[in-house]
Chain A
Amino acid sequence: DTAVSQTPKYLVTQMGNDKSIKCEQNLGHDTMYWYKQDSKKFLKIMFSYNNKELIINETVPNRFSPKSPDKAHLNLHINSLELGDSAVYFCASSPGREVSYEQYFGPGTRLTVT
Chain B
Amino acid sequence: AQSVAQPEDQVNVAEGNPLTVKCTYSVSGNPYLFWYVQYPNRGLQFLLKYITGDNLVKGSYGFEAEFNKSQTSFHLKKPSALVSDSALYFCAVRLLGSSNTGKLIFGQGTTLQVKP
Q: Which of B101, B104, B105 contacts A103 (CB 8 A)?
A: B104
- For A108, give the chain B residue with the smallest CB separation: B43
B: which residues have CB within 8 A of A? 32, 34, 36, 38, 41-46, 49, 51, 88, 90, 94-96, 99-106, 108-109
**Residues of A contacting B102 with CB < 8 Å?**
99
Q: Which residues of A contact B (CB under 8 A)?
A: 4, 33, 40-45, 48, 50, 55-56, 58, 90, 92, 97-100, 102-108
Tell whether, in the assembled complex, residue A97 and residue B46 are in contact, meaning their CB atoms are under 8 Å apart: no
A–B Cβ pairs within 8 angstroms, 6 of them: A40-B108, A41-B108, A100-B94, A108-B41, A108-B42, A108-B43
Question: Which residue of chain A lies nearest to B32 when distances are taken between CB atoms in the complex?
Answer: A99
Distance in Å: Cβ of A111 to nearest Cβ of chain B? 14
Q: Are B88 and A102 in contact (CB under 8 A)?
A: no
A43 to B103, CA, bound (A): 12
Are A43 and B90 touching (Cβ within 8 A)? yes
Beta-carbon contact of B44 and A100 below 8 Å: no
Chain A neighbourhood of B43, CB < 8 A: 4, 90, 92, 105-108
Do B104 and A45 touch across chains, with their CB atoms under 8 A apart? yes
- Extra contacts, 20 of them, besides A102-B34, A102-B46 (Cβ < 8 A), are A41-B38, A41-B88, A41-B108, A41-B109, A43-B106, A43-B109, A45-B105, A50-B101, A90-B44, A92-B43, A99-B32, A99-B95, A99-B102, A105-B43, A105-B45, A106-B43, A107-B42, A107-B43, A108-B41, A108-B43
